[in-house]
C-alpha cells in the first residue's frame, strides 16, 4: 500500500507480508483489526519519518516488546490467540526511543 504526498491513513490489512509506504506528509499507520485473529502477520513500514509519522493501535491492542534489528525497529503486538503479530519499522534514524504510538478508539470497526 502506498500513500500520497499528503497526510495519509494506511491500514494494515492483516496479510502475511504487508508493505506500507506513506510517502510525504504526516502519515498514520493503523494496526488492530487483524491482531486478535490467531494468524501471525508481518507488516513493514518502509519509510517512517521520525517526529512526523505515527503508529496507531486499535483499542485493546498492546505492545508485547520492541527490539532493534540492525537499522529497523521490530514491534511485537500481543496476540492472545496465537503468535505475536510483527511490525517492522524502517526509516531514517528510526530507533525504539523515537517511535510515536497512539491508541485510536475512533478507527475501531471502521
**Contact (Cβ atoms closer than 8 angstroms) between residue 48 and residue 99:** yes
pLDDT tens-digit series, residues 23-60:
999 999 998 766 656 666 789 999 999 999 999 998 87
Neighbouring CB atoms inside 10 A of 81's CB total: 9
pLDDT tens-digit series, residues 61-109:
889 999 999 999 999 988 777 777 899 999 999 999 999 998 875 554 4
Question: Whole-model pTM?
Answer: 0.86
What stretches of the chain show up as alpha helix (H) in DSSP?
none
Distance CA 60, CA 105 (A): 9
Amino acid at each position: 500500500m502506498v500513500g500520497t504526498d499528503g497526510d495519509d491513513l494506511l491500514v494494515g490489512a492483516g496479510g502475511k507480508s504487508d508493505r506500507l509506504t506513506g510517502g510525504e506528509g504526516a502519515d498514520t499507520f493503523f494496526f488492530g483489526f487483524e491482531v486478535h485473529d490467531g494468524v501471525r502477520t508481518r507488516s513493514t513500514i518502509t519509510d517512517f519519518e521520525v517526529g512526523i509519522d505515527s503508529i496507531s493501535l486499535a483499542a485493546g491492542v498492546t505492545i508485547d516488546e520492541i527490539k532493534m534489528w540492525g537499522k529497523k525497529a521490530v514491534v511485537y503486538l500481543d496476540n492472545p490467540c496465537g503468535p505475536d503479530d510483527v511490525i517492522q519499522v524502517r526509516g531514517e534514524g528510526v530507533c525504539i526511543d523515537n517511535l510515536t504510538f497512539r491508541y485510536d478508539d475512533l478507527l475501531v470497526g471502521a
